[in-house]
Amino acid sequence: MTNLSRLRVVQWATGGVGKAAIECVLNHPQLELAGCWVHSADKNDRDVGEILGITESIGVTATSSIDDVLALDADCVVYSPLIPNDDEVIAILRSGKNVVTPVGWVYPDFSHPAVAAIVDAAVTGGVTLHGSGIHPGGITERFPLMVSSLSSAVTHVRAEEFSDIRTYNAPDVVRHIMGFGGTPEEAIGGPMASLLENGFKMSVRMIADHMGFDIEPNIRTIQDIAVATADIDYGPFTIEPGQVAARRFRWQALSGGEPVITAAVNWLMGEENLEPAWDFGGIGERFEVEITGDPTVSLTFKGLQPPSVAEGLQRNPGVVATANHCVNAIPDVCAAEPGIKTYLDLPLFAGRPAPGLQS
């Protein structure tokens, strides 16, 4: 099936991650776009270039037909819907297409029946699935493990995000999935915690297993909320006093009752008019990796959040980086043995130069 010159890639869903993934595929010398699945009827039968908002035609037509996508001659699918569907993934794998995805399977429990079904589909199709992204993903797994090699006698590993959600141009997700603009009770009872915790808990367990931490069986989850004390303008809607305006999540592996691995998310609608009065600690939006040991080593990632609210509404670098981290793995995923493969199973993969600088 594999094209000897380039691997043929299908993009599944064209939200922010999906559009960025297509751009990365188009820039990658080993890849070519072979197809695109879209959910909405208004994108069906449109050239993908039109969906991306570029002037020239790409020559690939989007389709809402899953059967048409499964029938394509392609090597890999970048699977990036908002919420994953196991049946879709199984069908893709059984059709003989590898899968890279930012929506799960970063370090799955292979004893779970649902995971076993995915593995069986991959083996049957002779292909591989790889869960990736940046948070969870590179920031919570790959980079902490790499940085930890500089230290000894490690007592704590932390990976943490600090983001201004006013730059996230997905108002339906922000309101109804992330819970901003609702009551604290609605947010606590909403879907966000369960959607996040599966991936982040897998990240924490990967760190514990690979580094050899002796941890307690259950990963601790901590969730906190701040509300607005005055109107906060998100753009698509206003967050009123008493409504959710910031959220914090912590997932911690414990040893002797004390945290030894922490993955954390801090999402704020700006730093003003919050109760409690949370902020970014004076150094702005960022991702952090910190290894507490001998010596203690820290790494700060800047540039994964947009420099302004206006620029973030046009293009969010964190979303682009998530897509890139998936797409850049494709050649190694396609070359791997069938099954589910994590970062621990794949070689170190990298980005590619701009087209004019490629050898």
Q: CATH class for domain 7-133+322-357?
A: alpha beta
Contact 70, 302 (CB under 8 A): no
Per-residue pLDDT of the chain (359 residues; tens, 9 = 90+): 444 589 999 999 999 899 999 999 999 999 999 999 999 889 999 999 999 988 678 999 999 999 999 999 999 999 999 889 999 999 999 999 999 999 989 999 999 999 999 999 999 999 999 999 898 889 999 999 999 999 999 999 999 999 999 988 788 889 999 999 999 999 999 888 888 888 899 999 999 999 999 999 999 999 999 999 999 999 889 999 999 999 999 999 999 999 999 999 999 999 999 999 999 999 999 999 999 999 999 999 999 998 877 787 778 899 999 999 999 999 999 999 999 999 999 999 999 998 889 87
Torsions phi, psi for 11 (to 5 deg): -95, 130
CA–CA dist 136, 131 (Å, integer): 10
Q: The whole model's pTM is what? A: 0.89
Hey, where are the domains in the chain? 7-133+322-357, 138-303
- ∠ CA 344-350-355, rounded to 5°: 160
In what helix (H) or strand (E) does residue 200 lie, and over which residues does it extend? helix 192-211
Q: Which of 84, 27, 82, 85 is nearest to 54 (CA)?
A: 27
Q: Which of 207, 191, 325, 194 is nearest to 261 (CA)?
A: 207
CA–CA dist 322, 167 (Å, integer): 16
